[in-house]
Each structure stands twice: as C-alpha cells, then as structure tokens.
Amino acid sequence: MAFNTFQLQAPAKINLFLHITGKRDDGYHLLQSLMVFVDVGDTLEFAPHDSLFLDVDGPFAGDMPAPSENLIYKAAGLLAAEYKTTMRGRVRLTKNLPVASGIAGGSSDSAVAMRGFVKLWGLPEEHERMQRLAQRLGADVPACFIGKPVWAEGIGEKMTRLPEMPQMHFVLANPMVATPTPEVFRRFNSKYSPAIQFSGRRKSMHEWIADLKLYRNDLTDAASEVTPEIKQVLRALAETPNCHFARLSGSGATCFGVYDNADAAMAAVNKLKQLHPGWWISPANLLR
C-alpha cells in the first residue's frame, strides 16, 4: 500500500429482529429493529488523486451498478457540495457482500466512504452534520455510520446506541437471488406488530438469545413471496446442529443463524457449503 493510502472496512448489517409497527401518511413504514454489525464486509481503499476515480473488484463486482450510480459516488457528491470542495481520490471497492441482499452492503459502503473522504480531503469530523448527510443517502446509512449495535425506530431515523452486547456468533446464508427492498415492502400486507419497549439491559449471551427468540422479522412472508428460496435457507440454517434460531435480515434474502461459539458456527458453515454449493455462506461475529 502506497504512502497516504488507507483502508476501511464496510461491515455487513444484520437486523436481529425487525417489526413493522405502522405506516406514515407519506407511505413510509414505521419499524422497530435491533441492528448490529459483523466482522464480514466490503473493503474500501483510499488514495490521493486529483479527480474521483472508483475501481471495483471482489467476488460481487459484476453485480454492481455503473460507477456513477454507486452509493460511494453519491456520498462523495453530497459531501463535496456540503463542504464546497471538489470530489477527488482514487477508491478501490472490494465487493465481498452480495448485492441487494438485506445486509446493507451499499449503505455501509456509502457510510464508510463518507468517513474516508473526510480523512482524505482533510474535512472536520462533525458527527451530527455527517448524520444529517447520511440520512439523505438512505434509510440504513445513519446506522451504518455508527457501525455498532443500535435500536432503530420511526422510519429508521430514531437511533439509540446500545450499551455493549456480549459476543454473538452467526452464520450468514444467501441463496444468491437479488431481492429488491421496494418490491418486498410493496408486498407486505401482514398485520402491524404492537410497538415494544426495548432496552439493552441484558447480561449474558443466553439472556439475549432467549429474548431475541420472542421477536421476528415481519418482512419474512413478503420477502419469501419475492424470493421463495428464503424458506429453504431458513430451514437449512435451523437444521444445523446447535443453531438457537434462524431469521431473515432486513428485506432479505440473507438469513442468519445464531450459535453459542465460533466452532459451532464454523461447523454449520462447512455443512451448509457441502449441501448448498451455490449459496453465499459465511461465519460472522458481532462488532460490539
């Protein structure tokens, strides 16, 4: 890596649960969700350059939109307009996360791109101003800017950072069928969940798991209509030894299983890879 070049990780997001509690007059759904981030993600490498240049590589580079549509470009444009500066820098995105898969790969890339451009362009680190810009980039971007467990309400804009959570071990599995979020919301026609009071005051991993099992992802039926393979993924995860529960993340199609330790998660990964060689399957640990 050349001098002045630096790398940032854009972690995947998991919705440990996601309840839809209503709909606003403008059509946006109201939700309550516990969003966490894991040690699996895309990588962004930044280097000085006098104009803005984006390279994409990695296993899912081929599924990406044109560079001008990339959320990294949009983050650069917004930041440059806000701080009245020019867009510049060479960014190499290594796309490790499947695209349109419910784990906020694009949102995380754009949140991390904001951090990268702030550093590269020598801008001040102004958290609240950044959060306002992040909101304009997408509903999940402010949470991705935090990158640690958050309790999200409203249309996702009301966020409370949770106190430290115990380590949790996951397996992520995706059937490799892109599942566009707007299509899933269009099909959502279940009853709304009652709003819950949620506090992060649980101690052990087992207390957390026992509580999380009581909740659900309300988008599961709608997402399974769009991508029927989701049901198969949930079943396959739930059938792996020592899986506490399996659930859909976001609007899918990525699902996750929760395990006691990294060994149990790895054993499940190996088994699922044998059974479903066409799926994207990865172990993941919580970023606390």
User: Residue 208's closest CA among 8, 16, 12, 4?
Assistant: 16
Greatest pairwise CA separation for the chain in angstroms: 55
Angstrom distance (rounded) from CA 24 to CA 282: 36
Q: How far does Cα 13 stand from its chain's mean position?
A: 3
Task: Name which of 13 and 244 has its Cβ closer to ligand ATP.
Answer: 13
Number of residues that bind ligand ATP (CB under 6 A): 19
Choices 33-41, 100-108, 148-156, 201-209; region in contact with ligand ATP by CB under 6 A:
100-108
Residue 8, interface with ligand ATP (CB under 6 A)? Answer: no
Which of 94, 96, 174, 181 binds ligand ATP (CB under 6 A)? It is 181
Token digits for 258? 């929760």
Residue 103, interface with ligand ATP (CB under 6 A)? Answer: yes
Which of 35, 44, 78, 104 binds ligand ATP (CB under 6 A)? It is 104
Choices 102-110, 153-161, 210-218, 276-284; region in contact with ligand ATP by CB under 6 A:
102-110
Which of 32, 94, 224, 251 binds ligand ATP (CB under 6 A)? It is 251
User: Residue 11's closest CA among 83, 97, 72?
Assistant: 97
What minimum distance in Å lies between the beta carbon of 179 and ligand ATP? 7
Catalytic member of 13, 42, 95, 109: 13
Determine whether 103 is exposed, middle or buried from the number of CB atoms within 10 Å of its CB (0-12, 13-18, 19+): buried
Residue 163, interface with ligand ATP (CB under 6 A)? Answer: no
Rounded (5°) CA angle 27-30-33: 145
Annotation marks residue 109 as catalytic = no
**Of all residues in this chain, which one has the CB nearest to ligand ATP in the complex?**
106
Annotation marks residue 273 as catalytic = no
List b or e across 148-186, with b for residues whose CB sees 16 or more CB atoms inside 10 angstroms.
bbbbbbeebeebeebeebeebbbbbbbbebebebebbbe
Q: Which residues participate in catalysis according to the annotation?
A: 13, 140
Contacts with ligand ATP by CB under 6 A lie at 65, 69-72, 99-107, 109, 140, 181, 250-251
